[in-house]
């Protein structure tokens, strides 16, 4: 066996973060490419626009579902390498789609989406398994920052390439995603396998060697013992629970809370802005979408700044407080333009874009990162794997449906009315949080589960009291 070279923790965290940047790039790149693609292929059918844009999310649903299972068999590192290869191939296939090859491009983006879904599951898992315990709490926020940085990078690349002829511009925008994918591939080649995976597969010596690169010698054995204990607990949990366990009275409330937050995050309409902001500006002002590529950059900067703000305030405010604040302002930012348009018909059409920027600002430090924090905190060990998978699936499905339906909706009703609908969903999300989601900041998983059991006991006692028993 070839002895692995020592790899610095900075190198590991950099390429873990780079996976998030790549994920964000592929999510955002179609924002700038779509106007040129529409111009090149003369696409006017709203359903075709929706399918081409959202197809990457359809692939992500498949990739996210497969990645977790395959990574338990093949290893985190190997699966990230496979995802990087799919990134490269999918990006190139997207860029060489034949003229008017709608179905070819949709298929290529579904294939590419499998890598997006895999990366969204694998990269944070790998980073958390490599990082020391005191850094794991920040990883959700850091991963969110890297994803939105990747989106901002894609918007900048789109803007820089916007001066090219239409047929060349969109092809280069999509193909350029292969460059960071290659960097990720060659970087991960130098990384070791996750010690958690190695221990679960009875490769203690290799796990000990990898951890020796990252931890002080005096804490090495205690961490190995902790990982072994956690692995045994997970094994016991998988043996003693089934999919049906998720709907048992003991866990149903927490499942509904976690899945509900994940679904609301998407159905609130954020991705409609991120995918279609040039189209939104075109509908508002009448100027060509291909000339509105500075707006995605502005939205991207707001997203990055908001994600950095979250890193500062994440543990200073209650989860429910931030979600309530964010959802309320987001809802009003969508509803007010529709009201103002009725009251002041001659108002500046760019008013809606200003309100959308306010929406993005509050989304970026509330619902965007906190959804994943809550999913990581709310589920007890016995159902965590299955419940997290269900919540993630609902999130991807919501993202796919919003991307698919938005252009169809604005082709049917006014843009202000569409956003007003999203605004109502935002406010319903706030109501859901206040009624159904328990506070998780500062509580252990065991305490959260205990609070739920106490709540159920009080409900049962109240029902018996009403029945006179």
pLDDT tens for each residue of 272-310: 999 999 999 888 887 777 778 899 999 999 999 999 999
Counting other chains too, the contacts that 40-49 makes at CB distance below 8 Å and 24 or more residues apart are 40/99, 40/166, 40/167, 40/170, 41/99, 41/100, 41/102, 43/102, 46/407, 46/408, 46/410, 46/411, 47/407, 47/408, 48/102, 49/407
* Distance of alpha carbon 440 from alpha carbon 431, whole angstroms: 17
* Res 121: pLDDT: 80
Residue 110 to residues 62, 117, 246, 324: CA-CA distances in angstroms? 9, 10, 30, 34
- What pLDDT score does 461 carry? 72
* pLDDT over 70 at 467, yes or no: no
Token pair belonging to 24: 């964000």
Residue 247 has pLDDT above 90, yes or no: no
Rounded to whole angstroms, the Cα distance separating 131 from 195 reads 10
pLDDT band with cut points at 50, 70 and 90 for residue 101: very high
Within 268-318, residue ranges assigned H as helices are: 270-285, 294-313
Q: Which residues contact 467 (CB under 8 A, 6 or more apart)?
A: none
Which has more confidence, 387 or 128?
A: 387
Determine the average pLDDT of the residues in 228-234.
79
Residue 398 has pLDDT above 70, yes or no: yes
By C-alpha distance, which of 183, 194, 198 is closest to 77? 194
- Give the DSSP letter of residue 345: T
Distance between CA atoms of residues 5 and 351, nearest Å: 56
The pLDDT-based confidence of 383 (bands split at 50, 70, 90) is confident
Segment holding 417, helix H or strand E: helix 415-436
Domains by residue range for the chain, with CATH:
8-191 (1.20.1250.20), 244-469 (1.20.1250.20)
d(CA 7, CA 77): 14
Residue 392 near residue 61, CB atoms below 8 Å: no
Q: What average pLDDT does the chain have?
A: 86
- 160 pLDDT exceeds 60? yes
Give the 3-state secondary structure of 174-207: HHCCHHHHHHHHHHHCCCCCCHHHHHHCCCHHHH
Burial 408-440 (b: 16+ CB within 10 A, else e): ebbeeeebbebbbbbbebbbebbebbeeebbeb
Per-residue pLDDT, averaged over 347-351, amounts to 82
pTM of the model: 0.87
Per-residue pLDDT for 76 more than 90? no
What pLDDT band is residue 1 in, cutting at 50, 70 and 90? very low
């Amino acid at each position: 066996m070839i002895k692995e070279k020592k790899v610095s923790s900075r190198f590991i965290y950099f390429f873990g973060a780079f996976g998030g940047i790549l994920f964000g790039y592929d999510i955002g790149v179609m924002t700038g490419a779509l106007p040129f693609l529409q111009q090149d292929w003369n696409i006017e059918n709203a359903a075709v626009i929706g399918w081409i844009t959202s197809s990457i999310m359809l692939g992500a649903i498949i990739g996210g579902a497969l990645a977790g299972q395959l990574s338990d068999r093949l290893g985190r590192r190997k699966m990230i390498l496979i995802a990087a290869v799919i990134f490269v191939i999918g990006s190139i296939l997207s860029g060489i789609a034949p003229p008017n090859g709608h179905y070819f491009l949709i298929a290529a983006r579904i294939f590419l989406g499998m890598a997006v879904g895999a990366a969204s599951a694998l990269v944070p898992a790998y980073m958390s398994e490599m990082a020391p315990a005191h850094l794991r709490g920040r990883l959700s926020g850091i991963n969110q920052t890297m994803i939105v940085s990747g989106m901002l990078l894609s918007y900048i690349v789109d803007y820089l390439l916007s001066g090219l002829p239409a047929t060349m511009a969109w092809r280069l925008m999509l193909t350029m995603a292969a460059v960071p994918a290659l960097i990720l591939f060659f970087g991960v080649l130098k990384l070791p396998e996750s010690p958690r995976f190695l221990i679960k597969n009875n490769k203690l010596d290799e796990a000990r060697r990898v951890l020796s690169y990252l931890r002080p010698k005096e804490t090495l054995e205690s961490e190995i013992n902790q990982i072994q204990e956690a692995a045994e607990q997970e094994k016991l949990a998988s043996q003693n629970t089934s999919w049906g366990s998720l709907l048992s009275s003991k866990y149903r409330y927490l499942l509904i809370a976690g899945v509900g937050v994940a679904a609301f995050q998407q159905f609130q309409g954020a991705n409609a802005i991120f995918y279609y902001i040039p189209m939104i500006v075109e509908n508002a002002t009448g100027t060509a979408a291909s000339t509105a590529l500075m707006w995605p950059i502005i939205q991207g900067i707001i997203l990055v700044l908001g994600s950095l703000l979250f890193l500062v305030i994440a543990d200073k405010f209650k989860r429910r407080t931030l979600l309530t604040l964010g959802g309320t302002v987001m809802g009003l930012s969508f509803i007010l333009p529709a009201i103002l348009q009725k009251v002041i018909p001659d108002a500046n059409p760019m008013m809606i874009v200003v309100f959308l920027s306010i929406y993005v600002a509050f989304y970026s430090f509330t619902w965007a990162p906190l959804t994943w924090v809550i999913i990581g905190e709310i589920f007890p060990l016995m159902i965590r794997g299955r419940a997290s998978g269900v919540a993630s699936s609902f999130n991807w499905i919501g993202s796919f449906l919003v991307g698919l339906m938005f252009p169809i909706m604005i082709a049917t009703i006014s843009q202000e009315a569409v956003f007003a609908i999203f605004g109502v969903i935002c406010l319903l999300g706030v109501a859901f949080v206040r009624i159904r989601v328990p506070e998780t900041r500062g509580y252990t998983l065991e305490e959260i589960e205990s609070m739920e059991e106490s709540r159920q006991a009080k409900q049962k006692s109240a029902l018996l009291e009403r029945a006179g028993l």
